Amino acid sequence: MRLIALLAAIIAGATSIGAAPLCAQDPALVEVVAPLLQAEDAREWRPERFRAGLESPEALVRRTAALAVGRVGDLRGTALLLPLLQDPDSSVQPIAAFALGLLRDTAAVSPLIARLGSLPAPSLATAEEIITALARIGGSTAAGAIAGILDNSLAVSVTEYRDVLVRQAALEAWRLGAAGPARQLVALAQSEDEELRWRVVYSLGRLRTREGGDVLVAALTDANGHARAFAARALTMSGAEAMAVPPEAAVDLLSRAAQDDLPGVRINALRSLGSFRRPALAERLAAAMSAGRAPWRSSPGLPASERGASPCSARRSSGWRGAAPIPLPRWSAPGRPARGGRNGPRRRKAGAGSGERAGGSVRCERYSRIAMDGSSQPACRAGRMP
């Protein structure tokens, strides 16, 4: 079906990105493109067919062949794709970079990095696809390049769009997994660029590093709705544990986020709260939203310019920053009977005394104050008292 649809588009004279209009019913063009699409759909490695397509004088054919090579997934296609990073048609270069990312061949890492700094400078679309390809391929060299873009230590020839490249690197950094540049991301978390901040929060939420815990906690009160939504989505029970955020603090902060002005933030906060599996919490949240503040509805009290706006453009209302917290159980409060389960005494170290439990309560209270006073910096890290 896909082959028929694409052939119909070509015969009808459809255009692709940056391509000139095709001559309708060009049998020579159809004859070249049809075998490429057939090999791609069948995921068959046809080197002679692909090579002929990549050397075609038609940019559309070269783009189609490059994408087919990438989707077939044979690493022998790397050598065929690398020359297209310097293709004379600027619409072919980003497709070649994208296809190299699909192949995930580490042999392409060095040429991709070199292309970022070579002249003539790649187009912005090509540079963005190169960054994504490096993150897809992964490894220490690719991770170093992504980190170099984030901290401005990597020389690139696309100097006029440096801020766009930093945003792209921040968005794709999570793909690097354990090699992800958490330190560079944390350094960018206080940027005045809202577009950059939510991308940093997104990647840190996917990486789940201890360094990112403070950033995600602070992002729940960020002025950017995307940042708040992604922070709320990341602070699940397993995410909070991985990032060393005390569970009581996470529950407290998410409960406040469940009253955010943006539906996306409220929905993500409720989802994450559900991962903590606390029936008593569900009852309290239901009571708090009993006034018709359903998480999937827009807030009628917002100005018309903000209702229905995307999280990226809507301004954060300070409605819940100073609001009284939803009453939540304090598991470590003095006089409360010990609870079992995942975070209960069964998992505590033998011999843990009241000092440790009191320390946990203080840590939770410190994090809770972040939501109440709007401070962007946690008073202390989990497990390290000042």
pLDDT digits (tens, 9 = 90+) for 365-380: 444 344 334 443 433 3
pLDDT tens by residue, 116-154: 999 999 999 999 999 999 999 999 999 999 999 999 999
Determine the pLDDT at residue 28: 84
User: Is 24 part of a structural domain of the chain?
Assistant: yes
DSSP 26-84: -HHHHHHHHHHHHHHHHT---HHHHHHHHT-S-HHHHHHHHHHHHHHT-GGGHHHHGGG
User: Is 168 part of a structural domain of the chain?
Assistant: no
**Domain extent for 378:** 213-301+363-386
User: Is 12 part of a structural domain of the chain?
Assistant: yes
Determine the pLDDT at residue 281: 83
User: Is 61 part of a structural domain of the chain?
Assistant: yes
Averaged pLDDT score across all residues of the chain? 78
| 99 shares its domain with 220 | no
Determine the pLDDT at residue 340: 41
Total domain count, the chain:
2
Where is the domain boundary, 46, 73, 103? 103
- Closest CA relative to residue 266, chosen from 307, 225, 236: 225
Where is the domain boundary, 103, 130, 150? 103
Where is the domain boundary, 60, 88, 103? 103
CATH at residue 79: 1.25.10.10
User: Is 202 part of a structural domain of the chain?
Assistant: no
Which of the two residues, 371 and 37, has the higher pLDDT score? 37
User: Is 20 part of a structural domain of the chain?
Assistant: yes
